Amino acid sequence: MADKYLKKEALEKLIAAVSSSGGCFIAPTTDARQVVFKSVEKAADITHDYVLARNSYKEFVFPQTEVVATFAVRQHGIGLTGKEVAPKETVIFGARPCEAASLSSLRAVFTWDFIDEFYTKREDRTIVMTVACTTGDEACFCTTVGLSPESTAGSDVYLKETADNGYLVQAISEKGKAFVEKYAAVFEEQAGAKTKKLFMPEKIKGIDLAKITGRLKNTGHYDEPVWAELTRKCIGCGACTYVCPTCHCFDMVDEGTAYEGERRKNWDSCQYDSFTLHASGHNPRDTQFKRWRNRFMCKFSIYPDKFASKGCVGCGRCVRVCPVRLDITEVMEELSK
């Protein structure tokens, strides 16, 4: 499919077209002094000057709280009614190339030993429209984990901003091609518009992913003082896991009265002390640096070991959100030695 062109003003038409066909349009917008992914109704609500939205768009494929079943205690037994998920077409506009690569990581987990339809059905109806970065900040490290603003992996439609206030549009996946065809009236033919220069974060020299993964393979590293020294400042707030586009842990809870209620699937975090607390009172990860080590292991050892997809995409959200500025790249550098 030949490249297309999208005028910024035409976003209004695209939002209207997606909405009128029953879909939902998610884009970066400013809410409570932050740029966040949220459903938008008009193009004027879209923020264009941002590095990354504060939240990852994973919440639209993997909601923070979701009812999976309802239950009621009856005279004879318990009635459990499963919930069917029937998602709408969801367009994520303004994702960055780093986070676009994260959906395959989520999918790997949610289809690993069990097909979690709450996830897959949503993802199947999601269109990721990535806008390549023309700006960045010191927390960005995509180039260090093998991605870049030019990576198209995970994007359905990949856009590059042009000097004349539009976008050069490339349909990447089959889903993306079908999307561009479906809304063909909004897109124009490409006529040689000049694209803006992309922001390329400098690759952190001291980091070697293969070395990190190699070092983590031998669990002898568990007892090395490096973990406590580098990460004992972690306060265990879990904010990093909530903004991370690849973190996916959840907890099942029953809420309601003693007689009826809902079974919910809620985000959970490996940074909480209760995450691994056993009923016996024993906690295998009894101090915070061990919990932090676990998250690092998940990204750079468990993921590469089990799945082909990336555990960390280098978006830097965890670095920005951390109240004690625990920078994952500083630990990566130390573990590359």
Residue closer to other proteins, measured from CB, 102 or 269: 269
Nearest-approach distance from CB 167 to other proteins, in angstroms: 28
Strand ranges of the sheet holding 188-189, from the earlier edge strand across to the other edge: 34-39, 24-31, 90-95, 126-131, 157-161, 166-171, 4-7, 188-189
How far apart are the C-alpha atoms of 299 and 312, rounded to whole Å? 6
Which residues in 241-300 contact other proteins (CB under 8 A)?
Answer: 241-243, 251, 253, 255, 264, 266-267, 269, 272-274, 286-289
Which residues in 194-213 contact other proteins (CB under 8 A)?
Answer: none
Residue closer to other proteins, measured from CB, 168 or 270: 270
Q: Is 326 in the site for other proteins (CB under 8 A)?
A: yes
Interface residue with other proteins among 116, 123, 156, 333 (CB under 8 A) is: 333
Residue closer to other proteins, measured from CB, 54 or 88: 54
How far apart are the C-alpha atoms of 253 and 160, rounded to whole Å? 43
Nearest-approach distance from CB 196 to other proteins, in angstroms: 24
Q: Is 65 in the site for other proteins (CB under 8 A)?
A: yes
Residue closer to other proteins, measured from CB, 151 or 269: 269
* Span from 106-114, 124-132, 142-150, 239-247 in contact with other proteins (CB under 8 A): 239-247
How far apart are the C-alpha atoms of 185 and 6, rounded to whole Å? 10
- What secondary structure does DSSP assign to 237-291, as a single string? --HHHHH-SS---EEEEEEE-SSEEEEEEEE--TTSGGGS--TTS--SS-SHHHH
Residue closer to other proteins, measured from CB, 161 or 327: 327
Asked whether 22 and 89 are in contact (CB, 8 A), the reply is: yes
Interface residue with other proteins among 80, 115, 184, 235 (CB under 8 A) is: 235
3-state secondary structure string, 57-95? HHHHCCCCEEEEEEEEECCCCEEEEECCCCCCCEEEEEE
In sign, the C-alpha dihedral spanning 243, 246, 249, 253 is: positive
Question: Under rule CB under 8 A, how many of the chain's residues touch other proteins?
Answer: 43
- What secondary structure does DSSP assign to 5-29, as a single string? EEETTHHHHHHHHHHHTT-EEEEEE
Interface residue with other proteins among 22, 33, 44, 114 (CB under 8 A) is: 33
Nearest-approach distance from CB 232 to other proteins, in angstroms: 6
Nearest-approach distance from CB 108 to other proteins, in angstroms: 24
Buried b (16+ CB within 10 A) or exposed e, 112-137: eeeebebbbbbbebbbbbbbbbeebe
Residue closer to other proteins, measured from CB, 224 or 286: 286
Which residues in 93-152 contact other proteins (CB under 8 A)?
Answer: 138
Residue closer to other proteins, measured from CB, 129 or 322: 322
Strand ranges of the sheet holding 250-256, from the earlier edge strand across to the other edge: 78-82, 65-73, 260-267, 250-256
Interface residue with other proteins among 32, 44, 191, 279 (CB under 8 A) is: 32
Residue closer to other proteins, measured from CB, 64 or 165: 64
How far apart are the C-alpha atoms of 284 and 116, rounded to whole Å? 28
Nearest-approach distance from CB 260 to other proteins, in angstroms: 15
In sign, the C-alpha dihedral spanning 180, 183, 188, 194 is: negative
Q: Give the binding site for other proteins (CB under 8 A).
A: 31-34, 54, 64-65, 138, 228-229, 232-233, 235-239, 241-243, 251, 253, 255, 264, 266-267, 269, 272-274, 286-289, 321, 323-327, 329-330, 333
